[in-house]
Amino acid sequence: MTLWDKFINNVRLRRFVVLAIIIGVLFAFRGLMNTILLTFIFTFMVMRLINFIQDKIKVPSKLIVIVVYVVILFLIYFAVTSYAPRIFAQFEELVKSVVAFYQHPPKGTNEVVEYLSGFFSKYDITRQIKSGATLILQSLTTLGSFGISFLMALLLSFFFSIEKDRMLSFSKNFLTGPYAWFFQDIRYFAKIFVNTFGVVLEAQFLIAIVNTVLTSIGLMLMKLPQIDSLVVMIFILSMIPVAGVIISAVPMSLIAYTDGGLKDVAYILLMLLLIHALESYVLNPKFMSNKTNLPIFYTFVVLFMSEHIFGTWGLIVGIPIFIFMLEVLGVTSVSEKKTNKITKKKERQASE
């Protein structure tokens, strides 16, 4: 048996090499990461929507795809022509309010500002806030390139979704031939990627929607200014696990203080605490299952590292990528181990 044959038969080593090649290719095309990630997210969401609708009603998938993308284009047109100018104006007012608070703090708040500044610098939360601000303003500072990436991803996801059956049929041709093992390993990692990265990202998206709706209701009841811009900020930051709540609390608290004093700040913090408790004890178990049962320490470490490696995208995709790597390495969480033990115990009792 030749060395090449030994390599082909060594599945573990072979898959490690294939994974390294995939990572190398993605690194080489890191300039297209916006388009790649957005294409995957759009395609995954549309395919999940098609499966959901077809489980309820027997409708051709192509009709669903066409209707979905027509609606998306209409929403984009409405957002660009009517909603975006108002959002930009409110973001400008929001930034001015925060800057004015730090430059000219209200009477009696100097000690509070000094304490917060010392606290942020001590625990390096300033880095998180800067990352969050960069994430919020990214579409403003790089609107042209991000807009092109967004439209290209939307177009690619449309072509994939409308020709799903043909795409799958053609892709099966790569599973035959002398190098079929290479594409079989790519399919192996693709399945894990979809079942971990995609599912976790979908869960984060659903949690972000619930958090945004609940927080928006609370802000409207408090009658805070710049609600439209705050809603956009809350939705984006809600995609960041755990840290998003901390980052979004800062601007909301400052606006609440300038508008209604410490009483409104207390209401904001209480509202965020209740919503975070809802996310931790209700939404995460329902949407995430055991996929992301990570300790908070691991969550923050992954966010710090992924932000350093991937930039602002890392705050959103860091946790899903980490979960994907755990699945590839075969790491089982504590909760999954307990579930497996309980399942095995029930099976033994049933057999007895």
pLDDT at 337: 47
Could you tell me how far CA 137 lies from the centroid of its own chain? 17
* Closest to 123 (Cα-Cα) out of 26, 273, 243, 276: 243
pLDDT at 127: 56
User: Distances from the Cα of 26 to the Cαs of 14, 35, 310, 326, in angstroms?
Assistant: 19, 12, 12, 19
pLDDT at 21: 93
Residue at token pair 């960069």: 134
Q: Which of 9-13, 78-82, 127-131 has the lowest mean pLDDT?
A: 127-131
Model confidence over 201-228: pLDDT tens digits? 777 788 888 888 888 888 888 877 767 7
User: Distances from the Cα of 209 to the Cαs of 39, 95, 228, in angstroms?
Assistant: 20, 24, 15
pLDDT at 111: 55
pLDDT at 28: 87
Model confidence over 294-326: pLDDT tens digits? 677 777 788 788 877 777 677 777 778 888 888
Q: What is the mean pLDDT of the chain?
A: 75
Q: Is the pLDDT of residue 35 over 70?
A: yes
DSSP conformation class of 175: G
Q: Where are the domains of the chain?
A: 19-168+182-345
Question: Which has more confidence, 59 or 128?
Answer: 59
Widest CA span of the chain, in angstroms?
82
Model confidence over 113-159: pLDDT tens digits? 555 555 555 545 445 555 555 555 554 555 566 678 888 888 999 99
CA distance 91 to 113: 22
* Closest to 300 (Cα-Cα) out of 136, 128, 130: 128
As a whole number, mean pLDDT of residues 65-79 equals 85
Q: Tokens in use for 51?
A: 């499966």
Q: Is the pLDDT of residue 290 over 80?
A: no
What type of residue sits at position 126? T
Instruction: State the alpha helices, DSSP H only, in the chain.
Output: 3-9, 11-28, 33-56, 61-78, 84-103, 110-123, 125-141, 143-162, 164-171, 180-193, 199-222, 227-238, 243-260, 262-278, 296-310, 314-329, 334-351
Question: Which has more confidence, 149 or 229?
Answer: 149
- b/e burial code for range 295-325 (CB count within 10 A of at least 16 → b): eeeebbebbbebbeebebbbbbbbbbbbbbe
Q: Is the pLDDT of residue 36 over 90?
A: no
User: Which one of 85-94, 173-182, 232-241 scores highest in mean pLDDT?
Assistant: 173-182
Q: Tokens in use for 235?
A: 């939705």
Q: Is the pLDDT of residue 109 over 50?
A: yes
pLDDT at 260: 72
Question: Which has more confidence, 131 or 343?
Answer: 131
As a whole number, mean pLDDT of residues 175-203 equals 84
Residue at token pair 């909603």: 83
> Using alpha carbons only, what angle is made at residue 99 by residues 105 and 232, rounded to the nearest 5 degrees?
125
Q: Is the pLDDT of residue 344 over 80?
A: no
